[in-house]
A = this chain, B = another copy of it.
Amino acid sequence: MVSIKDIAKQAGVSISTVSYALNGSPKVTKETSARILAIAKELNYIPSAAARSLKKRETKIIGIYLTDYSGAFYGQLLQGMMETLSENGYELIVCSGKESHRFLPERMIDGAIILDATYKTEELLSHAERGHKLVVMDRRMDHSNISQVLLDNKAGATLAIDYLAEKGHQKIYVVKGPDISFDAMQRLEAVQKAVQRYSQIEYIELQGDFNKLSGEAAAKRVHQEFSEPVGVFCLNDEMAIGMYNYFSRTNLRVGEDVHIIGFDNIEVSQYVQPRLATINYSKHKWGALASELLLNLIKKQKNEHERINVSLIEGDSVRNR
C-alpha cells in the first residue's frame, strides 16, 4: 500500500510537506504542491482512513440507529438525513448488528442519531457523559450533548380521536403499541385525555405491538365483540393494515362497519381500499432536522429541542356513523 512516505521519497521532500500539500495547506508553495499531487496521483495514493482518524480523533461519519429497516417508512427518513449530512462533508451509515452499539464509544462515528427504542437510555446518557454527541428521536432526554426532535404525538392522537368523534363514533377501540415505544406511550396518553372530553364515548384499549400481526389479532377481538359500527384508532398504520388483512376475510367492511384511522401515513396506506385515514408528518423533514441538530451539536456545542408537526389525512376508512 502506498503511503505519504512513498510520495515523500519519490518527490524528495519530507512526509510533513506531503501531508501539508495533500491537505491544501498554504504553507507549501504552489509548485512543490503541484509536483507532490502529481506524484500522489501517479502512484495511485489512497489515504488511510484508520491512520487519519487515529490521529485526528474524528471520522466524519455519523451513525443512525434503527430498530429494523422494514417499512418504506425509513426510506424518506434516511434520504432526509443523507442530504443534510452530505452537504456538510459527513457520511451516514446505518448501524445494525449486535455489535454496532460499539461504533460510538470506539470512535468509528462522530455522532449518532437514535431511533431505536431498544437502546438503553442509561447507555445513551453515559455516551453523552463521555462527550459523544447524540440526537434522540424516540425519547425525551436532557443533556448538553444531546439534542432531540420528536413527533407531536399528542396533537396527532388528539386529531385522530376528534376525527372519529366528529364522524359520530361513540364506541372507540384503540390498538396500543409496545410499552417500550415512546411514541406509542405518548399517543396513548393523549388518547386517554382526549376521550375524556367526550362523555358519550365508550373507550376500549386493545393490545398491539406496532406490527401487522398484532393488528390482525386486534381485529379479531373487534370482530368477536361486534354488534354495531365502531371506530378504531390504530396507534400506527402498520397495525391498521393488519386489520384490513383480517377484515378482508370477514363479512365486516372497513369504512362501513369498522372505521379505522392510523398514524404515520406509510406508503401502503394510500393504496389500500378504502384509503386509510391517518396522521401524517414529513419523514424527510424529520430526518433532515435530526441531522441538522447533530451538526449543530458537533460544531457549535449547542443542544436543541425540536418538534415535528403532524396533520390529519382523511380517508374513506372513516365515514359517518
Contacts and interface: CB of A to CB of B under 8 A. Distances in A.
A96 interface: yes
Contacts of A68: 75, 79
B70 A70 contact: no
B49 A106 contact: yes
Interface in A98-112: 98-100, 102-103, 105-108
A46 to B, nearest CB: 5
A50 interface: yes
B70 A241 contact: no
A48 B107 contact: yes
B93 A95 contact: yes
A47 interface: yes
B271 A107 contact: no
Nearest to A105: B46
Interface string A24-55: 00000000000000000000001111110110
A51 to B, nearest CB: 5
Interface string A236-265: 000001001000000000000000000000
A94 B93 contact: yes
Contacts of A46: 105-106
A107 B95 CA distance: 18
A267 interface: yes
Contacts of A47: 106
Interface in A61-115: 68-72, 74-76, 78-79, 82, 85-86, 89-100, 102-103, 105-108
A130 to B, nearest CB: 9
A200 interface: no
A273 interface: yes
Nearest to A86: B97
Contact of A72 (B53, B72, B99, B103): B72
Contacts of A244: 271
A90 to B, nearest CB: 7
22 contacts: A46-B105, A46-B106, A49-B106, A50-B50, A50-B53, A51-B54, A68-B75, A69-B78, A69-B79, A70-B79, A72-B72, A72-B267, A78-B96, A86-B97, A86-B99, A91-B96, A91-B103, A93-B93, A241-B271, A268-B271, A271-B271, A273-B273
Given A50-B54, A86-B98, A244-B271, 6 more contacts: A50-B53, A50-B59, A51-B54, A54-B54, A72-B72, A93-B93
